[in-house]
A = this chain, B = another copy of it.
Amino acid sequence: MERQTITIYDVAREAGVSMATVSRVVNGNPNVKPATRKKVLEVIERLDYRPNAVARGLASKKTTTVGVIIPDVSNIFFSSLARGIDDVATMYKYNIILANSDGDDQKEIQVLNNLLAKQVDGVIFMGMHITDALRGEFSRSKTPVVLASSIDPDDQVGSVNIDYKSATKEAVQLLADHGHQNIAFVSGSLLDPINGKERLIGYKEALQENELKYTEGLVFETKYEYKSGEQLAERILNCGVTAAYVVDDELAVGLTNGLTDRGIKIPEDFELITSNNSLLAEIARPSLTSISQPLYDIGAVSMRLLTKLMNKEEIDEKTVVLPHTIIQRDSTKA
């Protein structure tokens, strides 16, 4: 009783038409007489025929699948992007192959090649920085690539981001407006362009416009982890800091809890602004004032852009910048 796979050929024979005709009705080609279409559809139904997407992919050179390279799905920041990507992908009848890279340069390349071997029609990449090697792989493949919430100095590929520099500047400005003299910049690796090029510059500009001195001692480089934030509390206090701009929510919550555990009152004694407005910012106590990056939208728009690239549609602008706002919560004074 082995279940026999029904092929297009079986349907053609049963319906008394050619494979081509069956293929046409399956693909919604209008050049089929209604009566024929009806007959074929009936047979398809009766035989429970399901087209084999792999064969289709080989013949048409389209897999309706896109590769998504993500540092870590279990990180709420990236998974929010991923959700936006998948929803739009589904909307356009694509599936996504999701591959975790841990932000590791080697893995990223390996994963990319694996994805290309699977003939994905496009790739969405999330990562903190783009190595030359990776850039090389991108450009030698003809497969369209879009960076989601990742920036590349020379934008050969599409990308969707917010204006990190301005956003940071606004956040730091808000802190300066509240009279803080020592405002910390709490970041992940400064080698990542979003931190080192965009945000840090925004931070410096804001300081400058408020006639505050920039000191390297107030720039804290650490990991995007809850624990790291917690541990940072002590060091930050020792530096006489009274306000901080933090680039990551998990880190920010760690810092918040670390400060609170040391008896610091937020926002009375210390004000803090985080960057991603993920659920964590809302959940934390006190809840965290945050730059609102439209994470879901960044994912969604990235995928939308990718569909255009895959269709070779005319693109007005390969580099999309989405608007951001600042959501005031309880980690800053009203």
Pair B74/A74 contact, Cβ less than 8 Å: no
Q: Does A315 contact B (CB under 8 A)?
A: no
Nearest neighbor of A2 in chain B, beta-carbon distance:
B142
Q: A95-B97, A96-B98, A285-B257 are in contact. Are A83 and B73 (CB under 8 A)?
A: yes
Chain B residues near A63: list those with CB within 8 A. 54
For chain A residues 44-93, which have a beta carbon within 8 Å of chain B? 50-55, 57-58, 63, 65, 72-76, 79-80, 82-83, 86-87, 90
Chain B residues near A319: list those with CB within 8 A. none
Pair A119/B83 contact, Cβ less than 8 Å: no
Nearest neighbor of A61 in chain B, beta-carbon distance:
B54
Give the contacting residue for A97; candidates B3, B55, B65, B76; CB below 8 A: B65
Q: Does A208 contact B (CB under 8 A)?
A: no
Pair A100/B87 contact, Cβ less than 8 Å: yes
Nearest neighbor of A284 in chain B, beta-carbon distance:
B283
Pair A95/B99 contact, Cβ less than 8 Å: yes
**A92-122 interface bits toward B, Cβ cutoff 8 Å, 1 = contact, 0 = none:** 0001111110000000000001111111000
10 contacts across the A-B interface (CB closer than 8 A): A3-B142, A52-B119, A54-B54, A73-B86, A74-B79, A74-B83, A76-B79, A95-B99, A253-B283, A280-B283
**Which of A73, A80, A82, A226 has the largest number of chain B CB atoms within 10 A?**
A73
Q: Does A248 contact B (CB under 8 A)?
A: no
Q: Which A residues have a C-beta under 8 Å from some C-beta of B?
A: 3, 50-55, 57-58, 63, 65, 72-76, 79-80, 82-83, 86-87, 90, 95-100, 113-119, 140, 142, 226, 250, 253-254, 257, 260, 279-280, 282-285, 296
Chain B residues near A117: list those with CB within 8 A. 50-53
**Chain B nearest Cβ from A86, distance in angstroms:** 5
Give the contacting residue for A95; candidates B114, B253, B296; CB below 8 A: B114
Give the contacting residue for A119; candidates B53, B76, B280, B284; CB below 8 A: B53
Nearest neighbor of A260 in chain B, beta-carbon distance:
B285
Chain B residues near A76: list those with CB within 8 A. 74, 76, 79
Give the contacting residue for A72; candidates B54, B57, B83, B285; CB below 8 A: B83
CA distance A75 to B82 in the complex (A): 11
4 extra interface residue pairs, beta carbon distance < 8 Å, beyond A54-B63, A95-B118: A54-B119, A74-B82, A86-B100, A226-B283
**Chain B nearest Cβ from A229, distance in angstroms:** 10
CA distance A63 to B118 in the complex (A): 9
Nearest neighbor of A278 in chain B, beta-carbon distance:
B74
CA distance A63 to B97 in the complex (A): 12
Pair A55/B58 contact, Cβ less than 8 Å: yes
CA distance A1 to B279 in the complex (A): 49
- A-B interface, 6 closest residue pairs, ranked by CB to CB distance from nearest: A74-B83, A98-B98, A53-B118, A79-B79, A74-B79, A54-B57
